[in-house]
Structure 1
Amino acid sequence: MGEPVGMLKVIVVQGKRLVIRDFKSSDPYVIVKLGNQTAKTKVINSCLNPVWNEELSFSLMDPVGVLYLPLFELCQLKSSFDPRDLISFSSVIVKEVFDKDRFKADDKMGHAHLSLQPIVSAARLRQILGVSSGETTLRKVIPDPDNCLVRESCVSCINGEVVQDVWLRLCGVESGEIQLQIKLMDPPAAP
């Protein structure tokens, strides 16, 4: 295990235009994994535009780990996607959405990925610049074939916190987007 980078807080805000996996709707939830850490949102029943507003926390170590987010009944990355392939890509967020089912296995609703490297490098830049108050844009990340961004995303320092707001397109399905807010908090000072 490497040096602590900080506490990573992933706020799963909402989903939009998610795919139908039940009769007329879906019961979506999101699972988030970072290394051997796992967290899950609550299930939102019968909703294709769910609002979770749930904060999930992870210890982030250097080298930056893989954040894996399965969202059942929502998304898929690529047909050849295998989470074990991410071990070599130590700075990738992957999210999957699932549909909760009572009598059968939960249905996958898609997936998305996002590099954690921009927020980690922006946090280092914040320390170098000594930014601690107000609001400062540290970095912009644009959509490209290597990420699932719907639109440009800014990494900002807001009153000492490094924050990135993102909309991710769910892959492997007809439609669906997920909004996340990612915060990287400084590690606690050593005694």
Structure 2
Amino acid sequence: MEEAGSGRCGVLKVVVARGWNLAVRDFTSSDPYVIVRIADMTAKTKVINSCLNPVWNEEMAFSMKEPVGVIKFEVFDWDRFKYDDKMGHAFLDLLPVAAATKLRRALRLTVGETKLRKVAPDADNCLLSDSFVTYADGEVALDARLRLRNVESGELFVTVKWIEADNAK
């Protein structure tokens, strides 16, 4: 429960859609799940047993003042009798989402769908291909295909949506 006057200005929704070509950690497969971290908040997907191409399609919501910071995705293999094995991590900077949100306000967009910004893969991000920040139905959204780091293989497909409090009314 939020306190009155906490200044909540929106909700960041993170959809962990699926993984692809994840690393093997249990003989021939893995039991993957994803931990999503932003600021001091954490959420976790369910475990998908014996699968290297899992489909989670799980949405997590984080209340924030504005879309700033970096979202970290950590993939693990669940193990019953020992520590869970790391299966790589990826991150996504929210700067393009914040910039697109300001652009949406400046353009006074309220209806329709508009591509606001292109985000290209580079050495400072985990993107595998060009992504676009779009505005539609009151949400600024970024679909991203991320390469997992510190692991032999694996990709994550995620969507990040920013919904401002004024659009939630």
TM-score by length of 2: 0.91
Whole-Å Cα distance in 2 between the matches of residues 23 and 38 of structure 1? 29
Q: Which residue number in structure 1 is paired with residue 60 of structure 2?
A: 56
Give the letter aligned to residue 18 of structure 2. Q
Whole-Å Cα distance in 2 between the matches of residues 21 and 46 of structure 1? 10
Counterpart check, 1:26 vs 2:30 = yes
Whole-Å Cα distance in 1 between the matches of residues 18 and 98 of structure 2? 24
Whole-Å Cα distance in 1 between the matches of residues 67 and 153 of structure 2? 33
Whole-Å Cα distance in 2 between the matches of residues 63 and 12 of structure 1? 17
Counterpart check, 1:36 vs 2:14 = no
Q: How does 1:103-182 map to 2 (within 5 A)?
A: 103-182=81-160
CA-to-partner distance for each residue in 1:103-156, whole Å, 9 max, x for gaps?
000000000111101011101111111112111000000000000000000000
* Seq. identity, %: 57
Secondary structure at 1:126 match in 2: helix
Secondary structure at 1:185 match in 2: strand
Gap runs ≥5 in structure 1: 65-90
Aligned residues: 163
Give the letter aligned to residue 45 of structure 1. N
Whole-Å Cα distance in 1 between the matches of residues 147 and 7 of structure 2? 32
Q: 1:60, CA displacement in angstroms?
A: 1.9
In structure 2, do the counterparts of structure 1 residues 28 and 63 end up closer, same or farther at CA, with 3 Å as the change threshold?
closer
In structure 2, do the counterparts of structure 1 residues 47 and 61 end up closer, same or farther at CA, with 3 Å as the change threshold?
same
TM-score by length of 1: 0.81
Match of 1:183 among 143, 146, 161: 161
Give the letter aligned to residue 42 of structure 1. K
Gap runs ≥5 in structure 2: 1-5
Is the contact between residue 67 and residue 97 of structure 2 (CA under 8 Å) also seen in structure 1?
A: no
Whole-Å Cα distance in 1 between the matches of residues 97 and 67 of structure 2? 13
Secondary structure at 1:180 match in 2: strand
Q: 1:61, CA displacement in angstroms?
A: 2.6
Secondary structure at 1:14 match in 2: strand
Counterpart check, 1:14 vs 2:18 = yes
Q: 1:3, CA displacement in angstroms?
A: 5.1
Aligned-residue CA RMSD (Å): 1.8
